[in-house]
A and B are shown apart, each in its own frame.
Chain A
């Protein structure tokens, strides 16, 4: 079983749509959770950290369910520029620990 699993997609949605990404992780000791965005042939960029209480940043909302070991990302009012691969990432502890990446979910937003 992979440590971090994501739906591979791709998700093809029209502009303005709401799209949800799901992720599960296997290690219950995981402490830190993130969503990264990766454009084709580019490095990943941090989109947002994910907290137990849930957090929102503009059109993006992230949720964490520790009991289910499940993380989600919701994008509202999709823009063309949101087209990218979204990576679910976990870390075992705070501090300079290694990040474990999911394989990513590809999103394509079309006009």
Chain B
């Protein structure tokens, strides 16, 4: 099946710093990618839809100026958490839809962010 990678797999940073997370589709092209966040013992929540060559679409309640998304190529989307605070500590996961006509999405392995 299709492979999606994320980097880094985990990151610890100080409050106030910015953190960039990369999501790559390794063997297929993705014009759309999705960014999710999962807090402990909670469900994955969609944050935004990343669109190659255009602006991302953010879900209600997600601050676009805080979570910057760039989808610069057909295989790379980045999420930058700006001025991170402890409440941003979470598990961030990206996904990309498969190239078939189903609703299959391929998930990256996730990035665990801890903000001190």
Q: A residues touching B (Cβ–Cβ < 8 Å)?
A: 4, 32, 34, 41-46, 49, 87, 91, 94-104
Binding site for A on B (CB under 8 A): 32, 34, 36, 41-46, 49, 59, 91, 93, 95, 97, 101-105, 107-110, 112
Task: Looking at the assembled complex, report how far the CB atom of B69 sits from the nearest CB atom of chain A, in whole angstroms.
Answer: 14
Would you give the shortest CB distance from A1 to chain B, in whole angstroms?
A: 14
Q: Which 6 A-B pairs have the closest CB atoms?
A: A43-B107, A103-B43, A101-B43, A101-B44, A32-B103, A96-B97
Question: When the two chains form their complex, are residues A43 and B34 in contact, meaning their CB atoms are under 8 A apart?
Answer: no
Is B103 within 8 A of A91, CB to CB?
yes
* B112 and A41 contact, CB distance less than 8 A: yes
Given the complex of chains A and B, what is the CA–CA distance between A91 and B46 in angstroms?
Answer: 12
CA distance A51 to B85 in the complex (A): 42
Contact (A43, B103) CB under 8 Å given A96-B32, A96-B97, A103-B43 = no
* Contact (Cβ within 8 A) B105 A99: yes
Chain A contacts of B45 at CB under 8 A?
101
Complex CA distance for A100 and B45, rounded to whole angstroms: 7
The answer to whether B102 touches A104, judged by C-beta atoms less than 8 angstroms apart, is no
In the complex formed, the residue of B with least CB distance to A97 is B103
